[in-house]
Amino acid sequence: MSPPVRIALLGCGAEYSGVMPEIYEAARQVEAEVFYPDVTLADVKAAGKSFGLDVHSADLKLMIARAEALVAGRTEADAVFIATCFRCAEAAIVRNELRRYIHEGSRLPVVSYSFTERTTSGTLLTRMEALVTIARRRALLARERQEGITLGLDSGSATTKAVIMKENEVIGTGWRPTTQVQQSADEVIALALEESGIRRSEIEATGVTGYGRFLLGNSIGADLIQEELTVNSKGAVYLADRQHGFATVIDIGGMDNKAITVQDGIPGVFTMGGICAGASGRFLEMTAKRLGIDITELGPLAMKGMGKNVPMNSYCIVFGTQSLVNALAAGNSPEDVAAAACHSVAEQVYEQQLQEVDIREPVIMVGGTSLISGLVHAMGELLQTEIVVPRYSQFIGAVGSALLASGYIRKE
Amino acid sequence: MAKVFIYPGTSLILSDLVARFGHRPLGAALAVREKVQTPGLDSPPLQITPEDPKKGLRYAAVEVPSGVRGRMALYGPQIEEADAGIIVRDADLAFGCMGCARTNELVRFLLHRREIPLLELTYPRSDEEGVRFVAAIKEFLAGLAGGETA
């Protein structure tokens, strides 16, 4: 049995928010252990001056001292989890600066999170799992080419996707809205098999990701069950042919969003989540529904409109929908409203999540929402860069799973 | 005997001084030790549950970070209960400290608003200042109802 992955916790307020048991539980579930890097009182006193950020809260000074111990190599760790209270400005500054400092000064994967007392281990699980994957499976993540015949399955919150790959080519795909997790998976596998002309028995290895990964991974006997942060990063740089050097992956999902800074195909810094569905694909689905069009028509419609003509703030999906209804009632064109909705979602992701990672070009957008051209355009405008949307971007998790699963093919 | 809130709440020296002069110190040790919800008595201090930040809503609104409200769930009732308070500003970390600057501001504000006898001192940086520091605390505590002269 391999030793547990050691995750250094740099935290402020977690004990007093009552969420420490949740953090420990999330780590336990992925066979990791959370620990506090050892520092002395002298280190804490010196932390403000040496780091150059003279904060008032003693626990934040302690966080800085611990980060310095990690970067200097005085304490050994496999990964770093930075957690501070949601809505604390002082902590947010420290959290962001430490994340950048550790990323630049070490090879340790870092994830940061701002919690409330309602944070549960379930919320933290995927993030912890990603840290463990990066620490433990670097060799697997180094895979750049798919081999043999593999099946990749992505059981997402909104849709379920499957791909069949053969010798580095996608030869079959399947897509369905997620209803019953198992049933949706069976359907997309059947679709992908039919398109590829491959029999189920010919599949040499299977990889599963997404919310339903544990259920499906066990039921179909998957060789690889892995969270979507590392799988999607790998899939994105693979499909965009940017496997070397830096890249930023943005995946605006149906329920949550992911923003990942990738180096040589391995996530360095990542953030996952969203404050409200107003910053997710769900708001765009609602917009399409209110406009009486299919979601596939929203992007092209938005490209014809001017988002600036319509004030819209989808920070909250309820208020965002209210803006939508008001804008239409005021006589704004569907094109302008569609553009404003895309801009609003892109803006929320930009403001809430992209500030937590280092944006490195190329920026690759993946997931179903990457097919909404208006959203990609809006994000490109905000980031002042041309966004890369690779072929099969909507199947990103499935492609990443199929790619990584080929590492499990047993050679005769 | 008076109930004296000490700031920083973790200061063992302040706590000891208050007890020596016949009063009851109110601080972190008392608040935390009364909450035993961990598997063992020597388990790490994880006694705070997600219910505590909700109790802290009595002292700070929901937009205030949960760490502040969790702390206030411990300190807030003590401030309400206190007959007097001692505030030591700019204390050395080894003397006792409270981790969150926002909580500290709120604690000091609430102590002032109670209009109870308060002694505010700056942490001594020399032997001479140290002697004056202890003398001032002794005089303050002796002046409280039920106090003793040590």
> A174 and A91, same structural domain?
no
Identify which of A3, A322, A1, A286 has the alpha carbon closest to the alpha carbon of residue A132. A3
**Which chain B residue lies closest to A91 (C-alpha atoms)?**
B100
C-beta atoms of B102 and A16 within 8 A: no
ipTM of model: 0.88
Average pLDDT, stretch A335-343? 90
B63 domain residue, yes or no: yes
Strand partners, A270: A111, A260
Examine the domain organization and report whether A94 and A205 are in the same domain: no
Q: Are B99 and A12 in contact (CB under 8 A)?
A: yes
Which one of B74, B100, B105 makes the best mutation probe of the A interface by having the most chain A beta carbons within 10 Å? B100
Nearest chain B Cα distance for residue A16, angstroms: 5
| Tokens read off for A212 | 């339903």
Asked, for residue B148, whether it belongs to a domain, the answer is no
CA distances from A37 to A79, A178, A359 (A): 12, 42, 28
| Pair type for strands A246-252 and A257-263 | antiparallel
What is the number of domains present in chain B? Answer: 1
What is the C-alpha separation between A249 and A287, in angstroms, rounded?
Answer: 25
Q: What is residue B48's predicted lDDT score, i.e. its pLDDT?
A: 82
* Helix or strand (DSSP H, E) at A352: helix A334-352
Percent of chain A with pLDDT over 90: 61
Residue B44: its pLDDT value, please?
47
Domain boundary residue, one of A110, A136, A162: A136
> Looking at A168-182, B30-44, B73-87, B134-148, which range is the least confident one?
B30-44
For the ranges A263-277, A332-346, B9-23, B78-92, the lowest mean pLDDT is seen at A263-277
Query: Is A35 found in the same domain as A107?
Result: yes
> A209 and chain B: CB distance < 8 Å anywhere?
no
Distance CA B113, CA B26 (A): 17
Question: Are A188 and A128 within one domain?
Answer: no
Residue among A9, A12, A17, A40 with most chain B CBs within 10 A, to mutate: A17
Please tell me whether residues A39 and A92 are part of one structural domain: yes
Q: Which of A136, A156, A191 corresponds to the end of one domain?
A: A136
- Is the confidence at residue B6, as pLDDT, over 80? yes
- A361-376 core/surface letters (b: 16 or more CB in 10 A; e: else): ebbbbbbbbbbbbbbb
- Does the residue A171 lie in any domain? yes
Residues 85-144 of B with CB under 8 A from A: 93-94, 97-102
- Domain containing A199 equals 141-229+396-408
Residues of the domain holding B46:
3-142
Task: Please tell me whether residues A80 and A10 are part of one structural domain.
Answer: yes
Whether A209 is covered by a domain: the verdict is yes
Classify residue A76: in a domain, yes or no. Answer: yes
A85 vs B68: CB contact, 8 Å cut-off? yes
B21 within some domain:
yes
Q: Which of B50, B54, B65 sits opposite A87 (nearest CB)?
A: B65
CATH of the domain at A128: 3.40.50.11900
The DSSP call for residue A110 is E
Same domain, A75 and A25: yes
Neighbours of B131 (CB within 10 A): 11
pLDDT (average), residues A72-82: 95
- pLDDT of B36 above 80: no
- The answer on A180 and A108 residing in a single domain is no
CA atoms within 13 A on the CB side of A198: 23
Q: Is residue A163 part of a domain?
A: yes
> What is the per-residue pLDDT for A272?
81
Residue B150 domain-assigned (yes or no) = no
Residue A228 has pLDDT above 80, yes or no: yes
Whether the per-residue pLDDT at B39 is higher than 60: the answer is no
Question: Is the bond preceding residue A300 a cis peptide, omega within 30 degrees?
Answer: no
The reply to whether B149 falls in a domain is no
**How many domains would you assign to chain A?**
2
Give the chain B residue nearest A116 (alpha carbons): B66
Q: Does residue B149 carry a pLDDT above 70? A: no
Give per-residue pLDDT as tens, A269-305.
888 875 566 678 888 888 899 899 988 888 888 888 8
Residue A288 lies in a domain: no
Instruction: Encode pLDDT of A135-172 as tens digits.
Output: 888 888 889 999 999 999 999 888 899 999 999 999 99
In a domain, B71, yes or no: yes
* CA A57 distance to own-chain centroid: 30
Per-residue model confidence as pLDDT tens digits over B92-113? 988 988 899 999 999 999 999 9
B1 CA: distance to closest CA in chain A (Å): 30
Could you say which residues from 91 to 150 on chain A have a Cβ atom under 8 Å away from some Cβ of chain B?
91, 115-118
Q: Is residue A272 part of a domain?
A: no
How much is the average pLDDT of A29-51?
Answer: 91
Within a domain: B89: yes
Mean per-residue pLDDT, B80-103: 93
Q: Is residue B147 part of a domain?
A: no
A22 and A132 belong to one structural domain: yes
Enumerate helices (H) and strands (E) in chain B, giving the number of each.
6, 4
Closest-CA residue in chain B for A21? B46
Please give the residue of chain A at the shortest CA–CA distance from B75: A16
Last residue of a domain, one of A136, A170, A204: A136
A63 and A147, same domain (yes or no): no
Answer yes or no: is A375 within a domain: no
pLDDT in tens, A301-337: 888 888 777 877 766 777 778 888 888 888 899 999 8
pLDDT over 90 (residue A215): yes
Residues A121 and A151 placed together within one structural domain of the fold: no
- Angle between helix A121-136 and A20-29 (nearest 10): 40
